[in-house]
């Protein structure tokens, strides 16, 4: 069942045109000209209960605008949005009860107070019963290790700790839907890993639907099965990540370490695109030649110390789609 429905949504902003120079500044003081900016042009998708969907796009693609429309912060210029059966901007307060929101760049906690106080206040704001509060706090403390900093003021927390506190805070009222706007931004590898494990866990155990925007493709690969890719306010791709990898990910890289360096490594079906000392990176298309065929060719003339085959990172696939556009396959 679809828990989120977005149909032909469009959002325009009127932006004041800025003139250059002193005269221009004076002119715009008196008479302002506005330029229409189409942040979201025409986006439709529907998300089922229990999915984790990666909502991806370059800066300024319209990701945050979409999230803001789903949370009821913004009213769409046209089109329909339904979240958990409600129109968010018409029933903003009711909608707020069924969503959790984490903005990675901005904390929603009380900056100057010990972390535990933010939880207490959110308990009051969301009218969480004592029983539910205690149960949730126990769970989050255990998984996220909140107890090490519950009495520290939020402003003194490390970024990793703050993000853990923020995500716990957003789930205190057991929302069926969670919006995560760049939840791993600025975190170190260990903290990122903890965050991903937690998101995966709450999705599986509590069946929470998660929409995630991120620039870290590893988040996507680790967490999501489905990805919605947008660019310039339009949907570019919506589907399984495995599928996009299948289609764009035919290029593989074979990395070999040879015993001694060689001047020419001529291979049938493969192309050396980088070399560093005795290490060579060989690009090949797996439909044309298999890795074992390539390896056989190399070992015929050289002795190989070590080798690996690299799959393309989703990141490079996506940057290719941004540049070339995505043409849907013809059936």
Partner 1 sequence: MAAIKYVNLYFKLVSAGVRAQMQYRFAFIMRIVGLITAYTGTAVTMWVMLYQFQVLGSWNFFEMLFLYAIAILSWGFCVILFLHFRSLDTYILNGTFDRFLVRPINPFFHFMAMKFDMASFGQFIFSLLIFIWVSLELHIEWSSGKVLFLLASIIGGILIQGGMLVLISAIAFWTTKSQQFYWVVMYPARNLTNYPLVIYPKIVQWIAAFVVPFGFVNYFPAAVILEKGTPFFPASIGYFSPLVGLVFFIIAYCVWMLGLSRYKSTGS
Binding site for partner 1 (CB under 8 A): 13-14, 65, 68, 71-75, 77, 89, 92-94, 96-97, 99, 101, 103, 105-106, 108, 110-113, 117, 120-121, 124-127, 153
State the nearest-atom distance from the C-beta of 156 to partner 1, in Å. 11
State the nearest-atom distance from the C-beta of 146 to partner 1, in Å. 19
Of the pair 71, 209, the CB lying nearest partner 1 is at 71
How far apart CA 12 and CA 82 sit, in angstroms, is 19
Of the pair 77, 262, the CB lying nearest partner 1 is at 77
State the nearest-atom distance from the C-beta of 54 to partner 1, in Å. 21
How far apart CA 320 and CA 6 sit, in angstroms, is 27
Of the pair 169, 318, the CB lying nearest partner 1 is at 169
State the nearest-atom distance from the C-beta of 40 to partner 1, in Å. 11
Of the pair 75, 143, the CB lying nearest partner 1 is at 75
Of the pair 125, 296, the CB lying nearest partner 1 is at 125
CB 40 within 8 A of CB 10: yes
How far apart CA 285 and CA 117 sit, in angstroms, is 57
How far apart CA 177 and CA 1 sit, in angstroms, is 13
Selection from 21, 105, 14, 90 nearest residue 59 by Cα: 105
State the nearest-atom distance from the C-beta of 111 to partner 1, in Å. 7
Give me the sheet containing 251-258, strands edge to edge: 270-276, 279-285, 251-258, 304-310
State the nearest-atom distance from the C-beta of 74 to partner 1, in Å. 5
Of the pair 103, 237, the CB lying nearest partner 1 is at 103
**Going by C-beta distance under 8 Å and a sequence separation of 6 or more, which residues neighbour residue 223?**
52, 54, 196, 199, 200, 203, 210, 212
CB 192 within 8 A of CB 83: no
User: Could you tell me how many residues make up the chain?
Assistant: 331
Give me the sheet containing 52-56, strands edge to edge: 78-83, 2-16, 34-48, 234-240, 226-231, 52-56, 209-213, 177-181, 99-103
Of the pair 3, 177, the CB lying nearest partner 1 is at 177
Of the pair 42, 117, the CB lying nearest partner 1 is at 117
Helices (H) and strands (E) in the chain, counts: 11, 13
State the nearest-atom distance from the C-beta of 87 to partner 1, in Å. 13
């Amino acid at each position: 069942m679809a828990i989120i429905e977005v149909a032909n949504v469009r959002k325009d902003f009127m932006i004041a045109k800025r003139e250059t120079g002193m005269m221009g500044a004076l002119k715009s003081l008196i008479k302002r000209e506005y330029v229409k900016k189409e942040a979201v042009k025409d986006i439709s998708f529907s998300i089922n209960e229990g999915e984790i969907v990666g909502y991806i796009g370059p800066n300024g693609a319209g990701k945050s605008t979409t999230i803001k429309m789903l949370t009821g912060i913004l009213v769409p210029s046209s089109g329909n949005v339904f979240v958990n059966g409600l129109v968010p901007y018409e029933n903003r307060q009711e909608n707020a009860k069924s969503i959790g929101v984490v903005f990675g760049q901005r904390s929603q906690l009380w900056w100057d107070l010990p972390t535990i106080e933010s939880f207490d206040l959110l308990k009051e704001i969301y009218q969480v019963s004592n029983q539910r509060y205690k149960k949730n706090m126990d769970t989050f403390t255990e998984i996220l290790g909140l107890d090490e900093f519950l009495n520290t003021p939020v402003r003194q927390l490390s970024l990793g700790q703050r993000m853990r506190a923020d995500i716990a805070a957003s789930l205190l009222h057991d929302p069926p839907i969670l919006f995560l706007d760049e939840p791993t931004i600025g975190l170190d590898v260990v903290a990122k890993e903890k965050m991903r494990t937690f998101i995966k866990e709450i999705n599986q155990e509590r069946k929470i639907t998660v929409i995630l925007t991120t620039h870290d493709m590893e988040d996507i690969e680790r967490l999501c099965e489905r990805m919605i890719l947008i660019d310039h306010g339009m949907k570019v791709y919506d589907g399984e990540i495995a599928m996009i990898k299948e289609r764009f990910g035919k290029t593989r890289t074979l990395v070999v370490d040879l015993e001694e360096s060689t001047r020419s490594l001529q291979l049938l079906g493969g192309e050396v695109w980088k070399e560093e000392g005795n290490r060579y990176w060989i690009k090949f298309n797996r439909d044309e030649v298999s890795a074992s065929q390539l390896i056989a060719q190399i070992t015929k003339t050289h002795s190989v110390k070590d080798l690996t085959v690299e799959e393309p990172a989703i990141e490079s696939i996506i940057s290719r789609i941004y540049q070339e556009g995505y043409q849907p396959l013809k059936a």
